[in-house]
Structures are given as C-alpha cells and as structure tokens.
Copies of this chain bind each other. A is one copy, B any other.
Amino acid sequence: MNHRELHRPDPKLDLVLEREVDVPRELVWAAWTRPEHLRKWFVPRPWSITKCEVDLRPGGAFHFTMRSPEGQEFPNVGCYLEVVPNEKIAWTDALLPGYRPSEKPFFTAVILLEPRGKGTRYTAIAIHRDESGRKQHEAMGFHDGWGKCFDQLVEHMRTM
C-alpha cells in the first residue's frame, strides 16, 4: 500500500521529521514497538520514561509516563491506529484505547519506515487538528525534541 499517498503532509497543519540512517528498519520498528526499547529513547534526556505499556494492535493502548528532571510525572495515553510491521505505525491521542473519542485531542503520529540499502528512511509526521495545534507543537520544540529522540533511538539500537 502506498502510505505516502494517504499521508501527504499539509505544511500549515503538520510537522515532519525525516532522516536516513544505516540502522535496519527491523531495528527501528523494534525501537518503536517494544517497551524495553521505548524507555531508552522516547523522551529527550534528562527526561525519562517511568512507565510504558504497549498493546500493539489497532484500537490497542499506548501508555507512557514521562518524568521531568525535577521528578514530575506526566502520564499519557494514546490509541494505536495502524500496525504494519517494519513499515508503518500510527497512533493518536484523539482516541482512547478501543477508539473512544478523547477529551483533549492534540495530534496523530504516523511513522513510516522505508528501506534504503541496509538502512532506513525514517519519516515521522505529527498531524494536528488546526494551525494553532501545529504552532503549539512547534513552539514546544518539535524539531529539536523529535530529532534528539531519534538520535537516542539510533544510539540505543546500535548497541543491539
């Protein structure tokens, strides 16, 4: 399936991180789908992940709690939408597990993995409801934050 055709980013509403790395996409997939890996890279240090639960199927729960350097905890819950091994993972906070509409929708994440030689072309798209959502996410440091996290992912998976 052509995932890109369904997910053409709209520059007004969406934020995109694109990278090419020499890490095989099976490892990038594992990093995104296994809690023991997610804990190692999913928030920019010195933040950390104190809880991570993955029910990897459409409608399944993605729970993670982020801990600030000062020790404050921020629990999050999302719902997986699509799980295509080594190709695509999509989840949103607009739905709770089992697809229940949530109170405070902010964004949907679509992660696309494509082979590039023995490595991976990585595309992460953050999809917002409106322009103010995109701007808020940008002001929160999307590009630096998601970029730094991806560096952490690569560094961690190189140890595998």
Query: A: which residues have CB within 8 A of B?
Result: 1, 6-7, 13, 57-60, 81-82, 90, 92, 94-95, 97-103, 105-108, 110, 127-130, 133
Contact = CB atoms under 8 A, between A and B. Distances in A.
Contact of A108 (B60, B99, B133): B99
Nearest to A92: B99
Contact of A94 (B60, B105, B110, B130): B105
Contacts of A6: 57, 59-60, 97-98
Counted per complex, copies of this chain come to 2
Contacts of A110: 99
A100 B129 contact: yes
A81 B59 contact: yes
A42 to B, nearest CB: 20
Nearest to A60: B6
Contacts of A98: 6-7, 127
A159 to B, nearest CB: 33
A105 B92 CA distance: 14
Contacts of A99: 81, 90, 92, 108, 110, 127
B108 A129 contact: no
A144 to B, nearest CB: 23
A107 to B, nearest CB: 7
Given A13-B100, A92-B95, 19 more contacts: A6-B57, A6-B60, A6-B97, A58-B82, A59-B82, A81-B81, A92-B99, A92-B101, A94-B102, A95-B108, A99-B108, A99-B110, A99-B127, A100-B129, A101-B107, A101-B108, A101-B129, A102-B105, A102-B129
